[in-house]
Amino acid sequence: MDLSTTERMRVLLMGGNQDTGTAFTSDASAALAQLLTSVSAAVESLLDRYVLSGTVRTEYFDISPAQRVFSLRAYPVASITGAWFDTEQAFGTETALTSGTDFANPVLDDGGLFILKVALDTQSDFILPRALKVTYTGGMAATAAAFVTAYPDLAAAVDRQCIHEWKRRNSPGALSEAGLGGTVTVPEVNLLRSVREIINRHRRHALV
């Protein structure tokens, strides 16, 4: 899902008469939309979160000895469909966990934490691979417009990165550029430091 809109970026690009006459052509609009999708994907990857809400997701977790806290990737959590603990990974009805009794309802937690009331296996000294299954619905927003409203700082960071890359579109990946005043070294296209700082505010901090 895009984390901003091309209209927001077109307005910013047209400010101060920059790119006048090109920012609204069909080819430029298509290129800008493609750039927005690319940057949005990069930002979502660094967030280490699923952005799109309203989708039922299933996650599997390895369980360390006495581990009780697990980090879901799509939050805020809207609802829990079910949770199961099964070292055999069959996840039948007899292995289902009960909300409130076996685990705290993550819908009440803004950070997407799935917290067990008690450790599931205290007999093993080894990691139990993919022994916990959680099916749930969660995410940051259902549409780009909703994302802009809910996370204006992230949306603005996406705009900033897109505009930065748009203005360098004629020299992608260039390491240096020569001019009348000499040669200027230009770093390869990457996320701006200010953009990364904003991403870090919302990034999922996976539990070790």
Query: Which pLDDT does position 94 carry in this prediction?
Result: 95
For residue 56, what are its two tokens?
């039922």
Does an H or E element contain 60, and which?
A: strand 55-63
139-157 pLDDT, tens digit each = 999 999 999 999 999 999 9
**In this structure, are residues 3 and 141 in contact, taking their beta carbons and an 8 Å threshold?**
no
Query: Which pLDDT does position 178 carry in this prediction?
Result: 63
Distance of CA 135 to the CA centre of its chain: 19
Query: Which pLDDT does position 25 carry in this prediction?
Result: 74
Query: Which pLDDT does position 174 carry in this prediction?
Result: 56
**In this structure, are residues 39 and 161 in contact, taking their beta carbons and an 8 Å threshold?**
yes
Query: When comparing pLDDT for 194 and 189, which is higher?
Result: 194
23-76 pLDDT, tens digit each = 467 788 888 999 999 999 999 999 999 999 999 999 999 998 889 999 999 999
Query: When comparing pLDDT for 145 and 120, which is higher?
Result: 145
Query: When comparing pLDDT for 20 and 206, which is higher?
Result: 206
Query: Which pLDDT does position 26 carry in this prediction?
Result: 79
CA distance 28 to 159: 16
